[in-house]
Amino acid sequence: MVHLTIHRGAHVGQRSFRRRAVLSLCAAGACMLASLAPGPARAQDKGTLNPQPLPPLAHPDDPNTLAKELFGRATTPAAMPPRAIGFYSKGCLAGGVALPINGPTWQVMRLSRNRNWGHPSLVEFLERLANQAPRTGWRGLLLGDMSQPRGGPMLAGHASHQIGLDADIWLTPMPDRELTREEREEMMATMIVAESRKDVDPKAWTPAHVALIKAAAQDPVVMRIFVNAAIKKALCRDAGSSDRAWLHKVQPWFGHDWHFHIRLQCPPGETGCEGQAPRPADEGCRAKEFDHWFDSAAPPPKPDAKPDAKPTPGRPGPRMSALPPACRQVLRAP
Ligand SMILES: [Zn+2]
């Protein structure tokens, strides 16, 4: 539960001003939680070997139905040409494809979540990165959430990851054996951020972490990478003195202390995909760019602070009528 709050917080407000996002997060209680140095046991959710199907909805065609209730029940992709529709935190996915749960240099975790779906460009990118990983000193990737089969809002866990262009990758390398189903539900990632929350844990952080994130950031289809501010600080310090341009794609954010989040650009020619402005070209490595993330004395929330749509308790997320109309076709498709 604690993780859900933090991780949800980690994905809100990316299109709004940071201050507003901070206020929103504080309103959700995540400011405080994020500064409490959650240990590995509290940092992430376990899955189950026996996921239960959800009961059918009484009024699935009602435009007031919460989109997460519909997309959270879609267990197969929409048989349509691939399209990322809408924005990362308000949209859906046509023609989603699954990343196979095992590859030579990757394994998908938390299979019960059925979130190893994405736009073909995301699956291609992940296979490309996994293939490159051993050359960076990283045995292989452990994949966290991508999207649901038809994308869309989720019943729990993220505000973004809706259009098949976001993926979470564990900051724990793949073991040199195939994990069992049970291990994939129960295994915990390594916490990378130190207890102080102001730097990485030197016992956990390695040159291969830097090399892997660099390889991801240098792929031209990657638009942004979200990591904890302590991890961005460590990347800036450990990236070497040349070939640092990739650092500009790395965005400090809440959470993201045991995984990093990759966001791809809209696929070329997909006009229904609403992109996001690229980060400034500057590498973003000055102290002032981290210090405010470490400041625990964040201002209290204003009573009228309006958080972006996010699936927190009491904040139900968008209704179907708020998503792009094409998302209704995505739900109806075979
Ligand atoms: Zn994520």
Domain boundaries, the chain: 2-43+60-332
Q: How far is the CA of 58 from the centre of ligand 1 (A)?
A: 31
Expressed in percent and rounded to 5, the helix, strand and coil fractions of the chain are 30, 15, 55
pLDDT at residue 312 tops 70: no
Model pLDDT for residues 235-273, shown as the tens digit of each residue: 999 999 999 999 999 999 989 999 999 999 999 999 999
Question: Backbone phi, then psi, for 85, in 5-degree steps?
Answer: -115, 120
- Compute the average pLDDT of residues 312-326: 82
Q: How far is the CA of 151 from the centre of ligand 1 (A)?
A: 13
Answer for the pair 42, 258: CB distance below 8 angstroms, yes or no.
Answer: no
Tell me: domain 2-43+60-332, CATH 2.60.120.10, correct?
A: no
Token digits of residue 2: 């604690």
CA–CA gap between residue 67 and residue 72 (Å, rounded): 8
Q: How far is the CA of 167 from the centre of ligand 1 (A)?
A: 6
What was the pLDDT predicted at 294?
86
Q: How far is the CA of 166 from the centre of ligand 1 (A)?
A: 7
Question: Mean pLDDT, the chain, as a whole number?
Answer: 84
What was the pLDDT predicted at 317?
86
Instruction: State in Å, rounded, how far the first CA of the chain is from the last one.
Output: 34
**Model confidence at 93, in pLDDT bands (50, 70, 90)?**
very high
- Grouping H, G, I as helix, E, B as strand and the rest as coil, residue 213 is helix
What was the pLDDT predicted at 2?
32
Answer for the pair 312, 8: CB distance below 8 angstroms, yes or no.
Answer: yes
Q: How far is the CA of 285 from the centre of ligand 1 (A)?
A: 22
CA–CA gap between residue 97 and residue 83 (Å, rounded): 11
Q: Which parts of 160-228 fold into alpha helices (H)?
A: 181-186, 207-217
Q: How far is the CA of 231 from the centre of ligand 1 (A)?
A: 15
Better pLDDT: 254 or 141: 141
Answer for the pair 327, 152: CB distance below 8 angstroms, yes or no.
Answer: yes
CA–CA gap between residue 142 and residue 151 (Å, rounded): 21
Model pLDDT for residues 14-48, shown as the tens digit of each residue: 333 333 333 333 333 333 333 232 233 335 789 99
- Which strands, in side-by-side order, build the sheet including 166-170? 102-103, 106-108, 141-143, 166-170, 259-264, 222-228, 250-253
Answer for the pair 162, 150: CB distance below 8 angstroms, yes or no.
Answer: no
